[in-house]
């Protein structure tokens, strides 16, 4: 039986967070034997915000290394660089012509990003969801791993695909959301009501996969909790403690009830230390593998070139079909 296709990617904007790892990469690793997986470094998406060119290039290679260090086998997954695949920008332009301004105006992420970058509200920020739709539809992906904050983008992708299909006949699959059972939303350590983000300005709010062990311990020691001093899971009343319990539970494969029992009567100091040590222990082999890969840039190049080739082969036929259907001359 043919495997279902999964497509996802992460922007090349620096080191990934513990939230990226537990909420995304961890689930990707579990999917690699069951699905036909395409994982990109979304470097085109980063251009909506001004970047240092050399830094962007280095971040792209670093992200490939982190994918592999986190457990993605390049023999089982297609790992590629978005900008190397002509179908992404080419299909995006066609789909822009089948997307309405009103649809893009409703995108909450555009409003959020425009507020954060008021000095650079460019058209790329506005049409970002169309490029994301092209990313997904170019591969005829069956499933897209998404968090709650990305569901709106998947909805507009389906709307665009349905509109195109109704005009020109069956062309695109309508992708479904794939949401992991656990770790879908790891929150910040200083603001446990918001998702942990690598763009957070407060360094204590995020744990990076490349953080040194002592820095990780420091961040968990300063993590926001509450005055009750009791390890108890309650997302509404105790968001900070509940977030730490989620992190510990995923790493140690323990239920919230088991964690409550393990730390009953021990207070937050002991609990925070245990969470920090669990994270340090989990990241140690990942960091070792990551550093080894960065020291071998030719190996990284070999991996992404192989992935690029497969991604181009996968998307070229569909792009030509779209061109033909809209009336462009195709050789």
**Residue 318's pLDDT band (cuts 50, 70, 90):** very high
* CATH numbers and ranges of domains, the chain: 5-179+296-326 (3.40.50.620), 203-291 (1.10.240.10)
Percent of all residues in the chain with a pLDDT value above 70, rounded to a whole number: 96
CA dist 232 → 54, 275, 292, 331 (Å)? 46, 14, 40, 64
Catalytic residues: 113, 195, 198
Question: Strand, coil or helix: what is 172?
Answer: coil
Highest mean pLDDT among 76-90, 168-182, 184-198: 76-90
Averaged over 267-273, what is the pLDDT?
95
Percent of all residues in the chain with a pLDDT value above 90, rounded to a whole number: 79
Q: Residue 124: is its pLDDT beyond 90?
A: no
**Residue 299's pLDDT band (cuts 50, 70, 90):** very high
> In whole angstroms, what is the distance from residue 145 CA to residue 231 CA?
31
Which range is least confidently modeled, 43-47, 145-149, 195-199, 260-264? 145-149
Stated length of the chain: 331
Tokens representing 256 are: 């919230």
Residue 148 pLDDT: 65
Give exposure, 233-248, as e/b (b: 16+ Cβ within 10 Å): beeeebbbbbbbbbbb
> In whole angstroms, what is the distance from residue 139 CA to residue 130 CA?
15
User: Are the CB atoms for 166 and 120 separated by under 8 Å?
Assistant: no
> In whole angstroms, what is the distance from residue 139 CA to residue 55 CA?
29
Residue 49 pLDDT: 84
Question: Strand, coil or helix: what is 54?
Answer: helix
Averaged over 186-208, what is the pLDDT?
92
């Amino acid at each position: 039986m043919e495997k279902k296709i999964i497509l996802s990617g992460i922007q090349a904007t620096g080191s990934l967070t513990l939230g990226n790892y537990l909420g995304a990469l961890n689930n990707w690793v579990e999917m690699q034997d069951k699905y036909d997986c395409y994982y990109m470094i979304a470097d085109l998406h980063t251009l909506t915000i001004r970047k240092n060119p050399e830094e962007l290039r280095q971040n792209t290679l670093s992200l490939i290394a982190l994918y592999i260090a986190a457990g993605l086998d390049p023999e089982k997954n297609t790992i590629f660089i978005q900008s190397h695949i002509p179908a992404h920008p080419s299909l995006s332009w066609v789909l822009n012509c089948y997307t309405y301004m009103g649809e893009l105006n409703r995108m909450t992420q555009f409003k959020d990003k425009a507020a954060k970058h008021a000095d650079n509200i460019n058209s790329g920020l506005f049409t970002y969801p169309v490029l994301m739709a092209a990313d997904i539809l170019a591969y005829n992906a069956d499933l897209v791993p998404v968090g709650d904050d990305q569901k709106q983008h998947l909805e507009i992708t389906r709307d665009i695909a349905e509109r195109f299909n109704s005009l020109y006949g069956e062309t695109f699959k309508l992708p479904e959301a794939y949401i992991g059972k656990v770790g879908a939303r790891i929150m910040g350590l200083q603001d446990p009501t918001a998702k942990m983000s690598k763009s957070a300005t407060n360094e204590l709010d995020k744990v990076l996969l490349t953080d040194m062990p002592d820095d990780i311990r420091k961040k968990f020691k300063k993590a926001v909790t509450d005055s009750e001093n009791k390890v108890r899971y309650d997302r509404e009343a105790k968001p900070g403690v509940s977030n730490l319990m989620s992190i510990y539970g995923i790493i140690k494969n323990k239920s919230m009830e088991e964690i409550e029992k393990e730390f009953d009567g021990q207070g937050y100091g002991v609990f925070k230390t245990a969470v920090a040590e669990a994270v340090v222990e989990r990241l140690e082999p990942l960091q070792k593998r990551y550093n080894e890969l960065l020291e071998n840039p030719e190996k990284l190049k070999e991996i992404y070139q192989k992935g690029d080739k497969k991604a181009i082969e996968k998307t070229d036929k569909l792009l030509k079909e779209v061109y033909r259907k809209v009336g462009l001359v195709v050789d």
